[in-house]
Amino acid sequence: MEKVRQDEKRDCVRAKLRADVHCAMLDECETIKEEKDERPGRFVVKPIKRSGLVEEEHYGAGGGFDPNLIDFLIQIEDKLDRVLKLLASREKDDENLFMGQGVDIGGGGMRMLCDTAVKPGQILKISFRIFRYPVVSLQVFGKVVRVNPVQEGGKQGYEVAVEFLNLHEDYKEWIITYVFQMQRESIRGKRSSENA
């Protein structure tokens, strides 16, 4: 049996993603140009340094930030997102921009539901937020590997599976941290329902 590296095991673990996903379809030239721009992610805390399983103390409250300020900034961001959605709904000229809803995510890729039909092989620039505190918003590139039509509420939609391309190590660590946190919450929920 072939020996599997620890990193590969961590990449395969997945969890539900409860986030709005903003996407832009790119061509290869745009992708290459964007990849050279090494902007750091939008983190309120320093990115996680890899040291085995990440404990909750790494992303606990504190760190010199006022929690009320963080809540206020998150509320402003949510309001701005709603304003941008309204503006985007009025502006149908740009067919390369669309929104979706996250289904699940792992260290190697994600799945989302959207109204826009994309083709396998299409390159997407994807923006989403995985944590509210600390605030972690990621902007990643992905290649569409699978598109399945779905009917939801009588409306035609698409389930899109995306493989991440050149994912920054800090981004991968935040995603894996999110996956493990969701799994811990699921286990706690099952235990509490069994004890009730």
> Rounded CA gap, 17 and 174, in Å?
13
Q: Is 87 contained in some domain? A: yes
Strand, coil or helix: 127: strand
State the residue for tokens 């493990």: 180
Q: Is 80 contained in some domain? A: yes
pLDDT of residue 136: 81
Q: Is 29 contained in some domain? A: yes
pLDDT of residue 65: 67
> Is 48 in contact with 181 (CB distance < 8 Å)?
no
pLDDT of residue 142: 95
pLDDT of residue 7: 54
pLDDT of residue 102: 92
pLDDT of residue 158: 95
Domain that holds residue 98: 6-48+57-195
pLDDT of residue 24: 85
Q: Is 64 contained in some domain? A: yes
pLDDT of residue 137: 82
Considering only CA atoms, which of 104, 101, 196, 79 is closest in space to residue 158? 101
What is the number of domains present in the chain? 1
- DSSP state string for 85-125: HHHHHH--S-TTEEEEEEEEEESSEEEEEESS---TT-EEE
Is the N-terminal amide bond of 67 cis, ω within 30° of 0? no
For position 140, which CATH number holds? 2.40.10.220
Q: What stretches of the chain adopt beta strand conformation (E)?
A: 14-16, 20-26, 42-43, 97-106, 109-114, 123-131, 136-152, 155-165
- Residue stretches of the chain with pLDDT short of 70: 1-11, 28-65, 85-86, 88-94, 132-133, 196
Q: Is 93 contained in some domain? A: yes
Of the CA atoms within 13 Å of residue 66, those in its CB half-sphere come to 4
Q: Is 62 contained in some domain? A: yes
Q: Is 92 contained in some domain? A: yes
pLDDT of residue 140: 92
Sign (positive or negative) of CA dihedral 62, 65, 70, 72:
positive
Q: Is 1 contained in some domain? A: no
Sign (positive or negative) of CA dihedral 137, 140, 144, 146:
negative
- DSSP state string for 142-155: EEEEEEEEEEETTE
Neighbours of 7 (CB within 10 A): 11
